[in-house]
Amino acid sequence: MPEKFADLALRNGAIYSNGTVRPGSVAVAGPTIAYAGPDEGIADLCGPETMVIDLQGGLVLPGFIDSHIHSSFGGLFRIECDLSGLTSEAAYLKAIAAYAAADKDKKYLRGNGWLPSAFGPHGPNKAALDAVVPDRPAVITSCDGHAAWVNSIALKMAGIDAGFHAPEGGVIERDPGTGEPAGTLREFSAIQLVEAVLPDPSVAARKAGALLYMEKLAAAGITAIHDAAVTEDVAETYAALDAAGLLTLHVRASFICEPDQGAGQVDRLLELRGKYRGKEFSPASAKIFLDGVVEGHTAFLCAPYADSPGAFGRSLWEKTLLLETVQALDKAGVQIHIHAIGDAAVRMALDAFEAAAKANGRRDSRHTIAHLELVSPADAPRFRELGIIACFQPTWFYKDEFSDSQLGAILGPERAQGRFRMNSLLGAGAMVSCGSDWPVGGDFITLKPLDSIQIGVSRRGIGDKDGAPYMPEERLDIAVMTDCYTRNGAYAAFLEESTGSLEAGRLADLIVLDRNIFSIPSEEIHKAKVLLTLFKGKIVFRNTEYIF
């Protein structure tokens, strides 16, 4: 007789773990997995109070891990003026007008989600926004998070006029005739100018946003995340939820590392890490934004933009300062998470990590470079050589409207056809994890790993069954994609000893799908439904359409 019967038994299904899918069952006792193996081995663990679920061929997976997400901001965006899912200026203005009319007493308006492809290369104009929000400041960030549409009142409050010079790393789009700001600000240093004149979101709003996105994450089967850019007020919110036992997933996070503070901020980051670290929340890493985005011509490239001869974009960090800061962070034992879109930015990040390793000695740092839209083939082997994790966002691995309408002109045909080479980096021996970057994205914004897995396998958009795949040689095996969202994500978060695989003794962070995604056509992967999500043995999501 076992010392303790299982609390939950999942029988008659399929199990996927560590690269293998097989028939079997899983038993959960308390916060851990008590058994994962052939169906006949679970019988002795089932007692009179064990909840037994017949999976009827359904699939048990380790809980998904999103290694790069902005969930704290995403939750706020969804309770502010949410433009996600809309695709035209007219639709945006209608939604903004309705939001403004619904709360006339609110002294400002924030929102998110407009598509760069809905506007020309210089972005949206303030006059259109003034027409629907004439009486208070309005700041609406783009779906990629690297631009803001602002009205005249916001610009005036921030002191941005024809004579105002853009801050380092930022861009102020201007009227070519008058030099006046046109209404689009690019990159964080410029966006912050108007954000600074608005009040910070309240503690209540942050908590409401957090509870909203945790529900969405659980429904998507996500049991761990890396929130890739947090500020102290965000960390305070996470810590409060953690202390109250309200976090329903493991949260790892990166404090934003500012380029104007350099190595001098390391002690402060260490202090914040210790102050806010809790049971499930650990802000143990530092986030460096090294460049911008291709659509804004702010990604840092090795060769100039095709439509702007002589323009390479630029790094948001001066290289010597970056090397000093990365070396100091590495020496202090801080994991580093770098945003790098352009191939020159990726190379610069690798150079900084290489210099830190030479100065401090190699350690198990698990430093990460995220996004990696363009990577020089010469730099691919360096990820394995330096032990750097490559974090991709597979929901971008297809041709969307922006790719078709603008990307070829911006980058030139050859580079436009050579983005997001995840399979190539894996072939070069890199450790790869995956994330959604939610709520950041393009035409299709999702936090669901099943969507990302399908796009990574097919290199086609969701719903595109017969179209030509984008870079077909970069298509990935479904097991590889699943591992990147489970055990590789656990490794990236220093959680591989406790989660990321279905093994006895590991935490019962797991999900149940209604079908075996390894035995269906790839275009149907996204149709699989999450039936159950368990975090440390507790059911945090249950699909009420199904009766167990």
Distance CA 384, CA 392 (A): 16
CB atoms within 10 A of CB 241: 21
pLDDT grade for 78, boundaries at 50, 70 and 90: low
Range of the domain at 250: 203-492
Cα 476 → chain centroid? 20
Q: Are both 207 and 191 inside the same structural domain?
A: no
Q: What is the DSSP letter of 403?
A: I
- Looking at per-residue pLDDT, the higher value among 201 and 387 belongs to 387
Last residue of a domain, one of 142, 164, 195: 195
C-alpha torsion sign, points 472, 478, 484, 485: positive
- Looking at per-residue pLDDT, the higher value among 93 and 403 belongs to 93
Q: Are both 368 and 384 inside the same structural domain?
A: yes
Q: Averaged over 167-185, what is the pLDDT?
A: 91
- Looking at per-residue pLDDT, the higher value among 404 and 362 belongs to 362
Q: Residues 186, 124: contact at Cβ < 8 Å?
A: no
Three-state DSSP class for residue 230: strand
Q: Averaged over 179-188, what is the pLDDT?
A: 91
pLDDT grade for 247, boundaries at 50, 70 and 90: very high
Q: Averaged over 176-191, what is the pLDDT?
A: 90
Q: What is the tens place of the pLDDT at every residue in 265-300?
A: 999 999 999 999 999 999 999 999 999 999 889 999
Q: Are both 158 and 213 inside the same structural domain?
A: no
CATH number at residue 163: 3.10.310.70
Q: Residues 164, 190: contact at Cβ < 8 Å?
A: no
Residue 49 has pLDDT above 80, yes or no: yes
Q: Averaging pLDDT over each range in 132-141, 162-171, 249-258, 459-468, which range is the top one?
A: 249-258
Is residue 322 in a domain? yes
Distance CA 119, CA 276 (A): 41
CA angle 95, 97, 103 (to 5 degrees): 105
pLDDT for 548 equals 59
pLDDT for 138 equals 92
Least confident of 111-120, 282-291, 413-422: 111-120
C-alpha torsion sign, points 263, 269, 274, 279: negative
Last residue of a domain, one of 492, 514, 529: 492
Is residue 77 in a domain? no
Is residue 78 in a domain? no
How many structural domains is the chain composed of? 3
Residue 1 has pLDDT above 60, yes or no: no
Q: Are both 389 and 243 inside the same structural domain?
A: yes
Last residue of a domain, one of 134, 163, 195: 195
Q: Are both 247 and 133 inside the same structural domain?
A: no
Q: Residues 189, 315: contact at Cβ < 8 Å?
A: no
Is residue 332 in a domain? yes
Q: What is the tens place of the pLDDT at every residue in 52-69?
A: 999 999 999 999 999 999
What one-letter code names the amino acid at 84? S
C-alpha torsion sign, points 197, 203, 207, 208: negative
Q: Averaged over 381-400, what is the pLDDT?
A: 96
How many CA atoms, within 13 angstroms, populate the side-chain half-sphere of residue 285? Answer: 24
Residue 489 has pLDDT above 70, yes or no: yes
- Looking at per-residue pLDDT, the higher value among 483 and 188 belongs to 483
Q: Are both 191 and 207 inside the same structural domain?
A: no
Q: Are both 172 and 242 inside the same structural domain?
A: no
Tokens 């990040």 identify what position?
A: 349
Q: Are both 223 and 321 inside the same structural domain?
A: yes
CATH number at residue 528: 2.30.40.10
CATH number at residue 365: 3.20.20.140
Average pLDDT, the chain: 93
Is residue 89 in a domain? no
Nearest to 255 by CA among 278, 222, 277: 277
Q: Are both 188 and 235 inside the same structural domain?
A: no
Distance CA 171, CA 188 (A): 9
Is residue 24 in a domain? yes
Q: Averaged over 322-335, what is the pLDDT?
A: 98
Q: Are both 255 and 168 inside the same structural domain?
A: no
pLDDT for 449 equals 98
Q: Are both 189 and 225 inside the same structural domain?
A: no
Percent above pLDDT 70 for the chain: 97
Q: Are both 214 and 186 inside the same structural domain?
A: no
Is residue 71 in a domain? no
Is residue 259 in a domain? yes
